[in-house]
Amino acid sequence: MNVSSIKLKNFMGVKSAQLTFPKGKVLQVTGSAEDGRSNGSGKSSVFVDGLVWAFFGQPIRNISVDDVIRWGAKAASSEILFSVGEGTEYTLERKRSRGSEKVTLTTPSESYSQKKRVTEAVGTYTGLTKQELQDFFIVTAYTPMFTTLPATQRLQRFEGLLKLDYLPEFKKYISGRKREYDNETARGESLAAKAEWQVKDGKRRVIELNEAIREKGKADYTPALDKAEAAVVEGEKALEAVLSVSTQFNDDRGTLQEKKARFRGLIEAKTPEIQRMQRLTGGKCPLCGNDTDPVHTAQELKRIEGEVEEWENATLEVSEKITAINRKMHDYRTKESSARDKMTQAGKALGRIKVEMSKHDAVIAELEIQKKNALADIEKGKADAEKLQSKLKNRGAISDRMQWWLSTGLVRVRMKMIEAAIEQVTCRVNYYLEAFFNGRLEAVFKVEKEKKQGGAKDELHLEIFNRDTATEYGGQSAGERRSIDLAVQLALADVACPIQFPIEVYDEVLDVLDPAGKAIIIDVLADRAKALDKTIFVITHDPDFTLSEVVEVSGNEVKV
């Protein structure tokens, strides 16, 4: 990323500023306020707050957004030109009026004016966040504050630069996840217990169902069924016999009735003859054709009447036989009705037995289905229990690992990262101290646990070795402390800063130094600017010290 230029208008203490950022150079920043003092002219406002506000709409210092507007002005504005990648240029314009803000990002292909979208686009194109840029300038411009912090706060600040301040949130996240896992484990254990109970209950049901099936199997309907079927067959045979006899009687009665009818026909045929013979007084005999006399007539009449009497007797005998047969047929009809009733009762009994057998078979079939379901429940319960036990085992292992991270792991990670970063920072600090003091001073950072009110606290101590003696930071001269501050600034910028911004600002790093010390520091910064292809601004308050390129900041404008 490269920042080409920035324009500021009515921003904080500066009325107008227009700056370009030449690569590989060190520029001196001077200035004085309207009362003649070097402080309060707006140097830091332009080079630190101005850059952060131009990109993200919030200055580095903790003030309200409307306080960036210069006293007496209606609005503050900025325009910054930057490029990323292969030189793609972007223009970011921002205007702050009291209570409102307008922002526009212009790209080679389009323009954004919605604030949220512009902020997201700036973060995407630059790879920066507001916090990262603020942290970067805090390190480069305000690191003397880091060295002068109390040891406990110094370690906290160092962790913040290393982004280790996410660890408490990470610990909170792991704690939350562990609670979720533990809750899920408890639910899993409950389900596993339920699955195991399902297996036990299924086995109990199978035992009970097997016993019920055995009891039902003891019921033998065969004798009753055979008896009922035999009764039906017997009834059918009896009915058949009765029907056979009834049929014979019916045939016999028909024959006798035919005889009786024939006899009656003969009698009816002779009756007219007898009547004629009774009326005959002379002449020929109607039967034989001979001449008649009373004697002959009487004889013929008697003979005919004898035949009729025989026929009547035969008819009477037949009638008596018919009556006897009718009586027998009535008796057999009663027997037939009784046989039919018995056969009906036998059939109903057979039907009841078959219904009972069907119900019995249905009960057994239902018991078999229940047994099958119970066996299926057992298998399902076993499978569920096995699956849940496997899951619980895995969850238990994960929960144990989470607990280890909560109790030990995060502490170790934190200390390892701090120790590794301290080792690198110490190496870089001593690299710059070698340049500043020709090996006379050496710095050592140490993390020590100190007992404080409320418990032990980790502290970051900075010790300075001067040949064979070691003292805590603060025991040196003002010039030495200022050089040590700069060495720490540069080392933190090299190691601890999450970004490498193309502009660095160092505030008051040359004050209280002698000319030789100033020359050494300027040489180191010049080498740094060329090596990293950066623009470095050194803010000074020394009127006797001047570089070849000076940026002068006054209450009205910035001059190069």
- Measured CA to CA, the distance from residue 427 to residue 443 in angstroms comes to 9
Helix (H) or strand (E) holding 351: helix 294-404
- The tokens for 554 are 């006054």
Query: CA dihedral defined by 407, 408, 412, 415, rounded to 10 degrees?
Result: 40
User: Which CATH code fits 216-404?
Assistant: 1.10.287.510
- Measured CA to CA, the distance from residue 102 to residue 330 in angstroms comes to 125
- Measured CA to CA, the distance from residue 540 to residue 534 in angstroms comes to 19
The three-state (H, E, C) secondary structure of 424-438, written as one string: HHHHHHHHHHHHHHC
- Contact 221/353 with Cβ under 8 angstroms? yes
- Measured CA to CA, the distance from residue 560 to residue 538 in angstroms comes to 14
Q: Per-residue pLDDT for the chain (560 aa), expressed as one digit of tens each?
A: 899 999 999 998 888 888 899 999 999 888 765 555 555 556 777 778 899 999 999 888 888 889 999 988 999 999 999 998 777 899 999 999 999 999 999 998 889 898 889 988 998 888 888 888 888 887 776 655 678 888 888 888 888 777 777 778 888 888 888 888 788 888 878 888 887 888 888 888 888 878 877 777 666 667 777 777 777 777 777 777 767 767 776 777 677 778 777 767 777 777 776 666 666 545 455 555 555 556 666 676 677 777 767 777 777 777 787 787 777 767 767 776 777 787 788 778 778 877 887 887 888 788 888 888 888 888 888 888 788 778 777 777 888 888 888 888 888 888 888 889 899 999 999 999 999 988 888 888 888 887 666 566 788 888 888 865 666 666 678 888 888 888 998 998 888 776 778 999 888 888 888 888 889 999 999 999 999 999 999 888 777 788 877 777 765 566 55
Helix (H) or strand (E) holding 505: strand 503-507
For 66, list phi and psi in degrees, rounded to 5. Answer: -75, -20
- Contact 378/202 with Cβ under 8 angstroms? yes
pTM of the model: 0.61
Exposure string (b/e) for 184-216, b if CB count within 10 Å is 16 or more? ebeebeebbeebbebbeebeebbeebeebeeee
Query: CA dihedral defined by 212, 218, 221, 222, rounded to 10 degrees?
Result: 140
Residue 44's nearest CA partner among 511, 502, 508, 547 is: 508
